[in-house]
């Protein structure tokens, strides 16, 4: 802990030099390099302020480092709550930094043990075939709210009349989180539920404007209204845009083992995934984003990123022609068993990759619907291969993948 205290002391010393104590009347600066409008109270009517953007960047960067100094706090404590607590200690140590004050600051946060939270949120755009059963998908559970609201109400020991105010969904979604405060639990839940949304869009398998699930991204029906003035006519069209069909999440399709859907839900919020599983998760999320996206260029790139995330040799290396060749070769070896058809696949994918390069380098590229269909099909088939193929299930790191592809290449 002593080493961490010394590092915290160094960071705080830099932060002291980045702030200035001002009176409220001094907030409006005549400097052309005025800092961001960020202030927090010091004492005796005075405030901490920033003279310019660089000082503010020092403060925020060091605050982030202080938050990440203790991994247990990073995992279980909300960063915003940490900032509020730190501002209290910063007022105290501004004039004199004492090691004991810093140590006490961290000890008091850690003294509050983590606890298990259950987070319930309304979920839109779905339906269950059986409202009397829980629909469990990995760590996520979905309930018919009128039927199961008692599981929430039974945990409340005080007035329950306020509980469902503003609740306008027939279904509720439950996720568990372990944290030191409710704010962090809410943040962790939001991360897992966003993953869940993306996985649902992945599982749908294609862009489908009839369906849409909304938990953390919003997205209810939008009224498309306009006034159109012609030379001799006036029209005022109005239509609702958005998903109108509800997705039956308890259908067997969403846990179908033959296409790997049974495995994807257990990846949500899982901190023990192998490097290969993390790549598969990333690819699923990119496909989910693409299936949700409306702009064709963005959709195309997101499908391509999904493919690249599966086959790239290293996360730190830019995509080069040689790496592109590795990706094409990997796809051919895994997806195309017929040797005679591999040449056609190679040609198709290289053409798609040429479009990707053109978009990335600012070229004026026309994306056809068939291009979207081709790249999305390849992305989904590649992910399903990683989920279902026993040879790929047995590997856990990129080196093993390279070795497997080499054996397949030489028929070993």
Per-residue pLDDT 10s for the chain (412 aa) are 788 999 999 999 999 888 887 776 555 444 444 445 566 777 777 788 776 778 888 999 999 999 999 999 999 999 999 999 998 888 888 888 888 999 999 999 999 999 989 899 888 889 999 999 999 999 999 999 999 999 888 888 778 777 888 888 899 999 998 999 888 998 998 899 999 999 999 998 766 666 778 886 655 544 555 544 455 555 455 555 556 678 899 999 999 989 999 999 999 999 999 999 999 999 999 999 998 888 889 999 999 999 999 987 655 444 455 677 888 889 999 998 888 888 899 999 999 988 888 887 777 678 888 999 999 999 999 999 999 999 998 899 988 988 888 888 887 6
CB-based contacts of 269: which residues, under 8 Å, 6+ apart?
139, 175, 177, 188, 191, 192, 195
pLDDT score of 317: 45
DSSP code, position 153: H
Could you tell me where the beta strands, DSSP code E, fall in 5-139? 20-22, 40-41, 47-49, 115-123, 126-127, 135-137
Q: Considering the chain, what percentage of its residues have pLDDT values greater than 90? A: 44
Helices of type H across 149-217: 150-153, 182-204
For residues 306 and 317, what is the distance between their CA atoms, to the nearest angstrom?
Answer: 16
pLDDT score of 276: 94
Residue count of the chain: 412
Q: pLDDT (tens digit, 9 = 90+) per residue, 362-373? A: 776 788 889 999
Answer yes or no: pTM beyond 0.85: no
Q: At what angle do helices 339-360 and 321-335 cross, to 10 degrees?
A: 140
């Amino acid at each position: 802990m002593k080493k961490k205290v010394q590092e915290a002391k160094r960071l705080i010393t830099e932060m002291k030099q980045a702030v200035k104590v001002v009176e409220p009347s001094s907030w409006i600066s005549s400097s052309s390099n005025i800092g961001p409008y960020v202030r927090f109270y010091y004492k005796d009517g005075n405030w901490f302020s920033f003279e310019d953007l660089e000082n503010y960047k020092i403060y925020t960067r060091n605050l982030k480092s202080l938050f990440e100094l203790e991994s247990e706090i990073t995992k279980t404590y909300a960063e915003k709550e940490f900032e509020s607590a730190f501002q209290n200690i910063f007022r105290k140590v501004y004039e004199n930094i004492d090691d004991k004050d810093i140590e006490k600051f961290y000890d008091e946060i850690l003294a509050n043990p983590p606890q298990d939270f259950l987070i319930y949120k309304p979920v839109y755009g779905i339906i269950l075939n059986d409202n009397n059963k829980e629909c469990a998908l990995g760590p996520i559970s979905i309930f018919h709210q009128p039927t199961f609201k008692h599981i929430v109400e039974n945990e409340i020991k005080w007035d329950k009349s306020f509980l469902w105010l503003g609740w306008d969904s027939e279904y509720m979604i439950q996720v568990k989180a372990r944290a030191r405060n409710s704010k962090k639990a809410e943040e962790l839940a939001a991360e897992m539920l966003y993953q869940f949304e993306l996985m649902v869009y992945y599982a749908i398998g294609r862009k489908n404007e009839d369906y849409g699930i909304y938990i953390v991204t919003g997205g209810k029906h939008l009224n498309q209204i306009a006034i159109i003035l012609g030379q001799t006519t006036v029209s005022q069209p109005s239509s609702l845009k958005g998903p109108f069909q509800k997705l039956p999440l308890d259908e067997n399709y969403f846990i179908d083992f033959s296409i790997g859907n049974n495995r994807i839900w257990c990846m949500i919020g899982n901190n023990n995934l192998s490097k290969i599983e993390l790549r598969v998760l990333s690819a699923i999320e990119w496909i989910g984003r693409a299936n949700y996206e409306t702009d064709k260029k963005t959709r195309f790139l997101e499908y391509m990123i999904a493919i690249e995330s599966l086959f790239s040799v290293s996360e730190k290396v830019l995509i080069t022609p040689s790496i592109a060749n590795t990706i094409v070769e990997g796809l051919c070896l895994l997806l195309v068993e017929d040797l005679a058809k591999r040449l056609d696949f190679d040609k198709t994918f290289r053409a798609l990759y040429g479009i990707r390069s053109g978009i990335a380098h600012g070229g004026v590229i026309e994306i056809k619907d068939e291009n979207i269909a081709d790249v999305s099909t390849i992305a989904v088939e590649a992910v399903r291969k990683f989920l279902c193929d026993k040879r790929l299930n047995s590997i856990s790191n990129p080196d093993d993948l390279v070795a497997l592809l080499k054996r397949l290449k030489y028929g070993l």
